[in-house]
Amino acid sequence: MLRMLQSATLGVVLATAALDASQTKKPAPAVNANAATLKEFSRRVDDYVAVHKKVENTLPNLPKQTTPQEIDKHQRAMATLIQEARKTAKPGDIFHPAMQRLVRNLLRPIFSGKDGAQIKAEILDNEYKGNVKLAVNGRYPDEVPISTVPPQVLAQLPKMPEELEYRFVQTNLILLDTHAHTIADFIVDAFK
């Protein structure tokens, strides 16, 4: 009788352990919901950079010792070629809608956090107070100082290749083609 009781108890313990194990199994790791958005953004950036490099290779190299006027002339020539190569470009071609939402979600905690007001002030410190109209393939406005982008912001955003930089024009986040001094794409009101 004792043996039967021990066997029954062992059976209950094993069944309970099996039930507990099935209930405490870790769920399968969730797929990163943002992975597809980031992958698509990266593909679009790569496509832009391919156009940039193709166009840039048609221009003569700037000499090591160059004047601001020569740099400006080179930038404008490159901008013209990029505009021609991307005739149909429009807002959202690189920062596609899902990426725009993701960027705003990534930046929201930074700008609403305890240092948010200071970070916004740093970005807008030398900001031009006039009306600025952004245009894809348009020249970065000469009258607008190029903003700094705080490290907290850069840390949240995907890394850019050498040809592009994140910059702010007022509350709008832009992708600046540094060689052509043009706006590759932008997000309106990336923060407020």
1-42 confidence digits (pLDDT tens): 434 434 444 344 444 444 454 455 555 555 577 899 999 999
Torsion from C-alpha of 115, 120, 126, 127, nearest 10 degrees: 180
b or e along 81-112 (b: 16 or more beta carbons within 10 Å of the residue's beta carbon)? bbbeebeebeeebbbbeebbebbbebbeebbe
pTM here? 0.79
Handedness of CA 152, 121, 90, 101 (dihedral sign): positive
The pLDDT tens digits for 45-104 are: 999 999 999 999 999 988 889 999 999 999 999 999 999 999 999 999 999 999 999 999
- Yes or no: say if 32 and 66 are a contact pair by the CB < 8 Å rule: no
User: Is 143 a residue whose pLDDT tops 50?
Assistant: yes
What pLDDT score was predicted for residue 27? Answer: 55
Q: Which residues contact 145 (CB under 8 A, 6 or more apart)?
A: 126, 127, 128
